Amino acid sequence: MRSAQRTRLVLVRHGQTDHNREGRLQGQIDIPLNDRGITQAETLARSIAASPPDLIVSSPLERARDTAGVVARACGLEVDLDEAFLERGFGRWEGLRGEEIHSRWPKEHADWRAHRPIRGLDIEDRPEVGERVAAGCRRLVEENPGRTVMVVAHGAAITLGITALLGLDTNGFRGLAGLENCHRSVLEPVHAEPAEGLMRLLSHNLPPDFT
């Protein structure tokens, strides 16, 4: 997972929850892992322990925190919590299925599907989330040169964070598929000048059992 003296960033999505299984939008609701999610985290932990990171940082939400905890125990590490890696806030839509959102807010749902801003529902804007996550990642990378940093977070937060780290438009770019549960992506800093905090994507959506 890492080469000597190279700084690596590993972004991991948490294990499955019942809201994931039921197709509900979680956002910042604090939902625990279900049995499948725990099994996914255990599989991930065995893979990661073969080449462990130097530190593990997690969103404070339970589903991410518990996924990180399973991995950390396998690696003999502790978990640091950081609110920079919270999931995107979906306001009044949290806990609802897509068809419920479409039925009650058809115009806003269309805007969401088209990556346009949504007003009046307390939904966090895509660029705001992307920069929040990217700023947290840049800080960790800057503080840990030559080390591998693992961040356990959430689907939308990771997708938008990676998009921002690659220097792409978080509103317009649609070419990055979201991570599946307990899948991960690996990035490293761009060292060319001026890099301006940009990173390159080395691998994306690696499954829990990938070593």
pLDDT tens sequence across 64-79 = 999 999 999 999 999 9
- For a pLDDT cut of 70, what percent of the chain falls above it? 97
Asked if residue 17 belongs to a known ligand binding site, the reply is: yes
Catalytic pick among 22, 62, 78, 87: 87
Per the annotation, the verdict on 102 as an active-site residue is no
Asked if residue 20 belongs to a known ligand binding site, the reply is: yes
What is the rounded distance in angstroms from the CA atom of residue 45 to the CA atom of residue 182? 10
* DSSP bridge pairs for 153: 13
| Token pair in block for residue 183 | 């899948």
Coil, strand or helix at 91: helix
Asked if residue 147 belongs to a known ligand binding site, the reply is: no
Cβ-proximal residues to 12 (8 Å cutoff; 6+ apart), any chain: 44, 67, 68, 71, 150, 151, 152, 153, 179, 182, 183, 184
Rg, Å, the chain Cα set = 17
pLDDT tens sequence across 168-195 = 999 989 899 999 999 999 999 998 766 7
* Structural domains in the chain, sorted by start: 8-89+126-206 (3.40.50.1240), 98-123 (no CATH)
Residue type, 177: A
Catalytic pick among 14, 109, 154, 183: 14
Task: Give 105-152 as a DSSP string.
Answer: -HHHHHHHHTT----SS-BPPHHHHHHHHHHHHHHHHHHSTTSEEEEE
Is the pLDDT score of 3 beyond 70? no
pLDDT tens sequence across 8-51 = 999 999 999 999 999 999 999 999 999 999 999 999 999 999 99
* DSSP bridge pairs for 123: 90
Q: Which residue has the tokens 């115009």?
A: 107
Per the annotation, the verdict on 87 as an active-site residue is yes
Q: Which residue has the tokens 């990378």?
A: 141
* Entry pTM: 0.95
Tell which residue, 172, 204, 182, 191, has the closest CA to residue 39: 182
Q: Are 59 and 154 in contact (CB under 8 A)?
A: yes
Asked if residue 37 belongs to a known ligand binding site, the reply is: no
Cβ-proximal residues to 192 (8 Å cutoff; 6+ apart), any chain: none
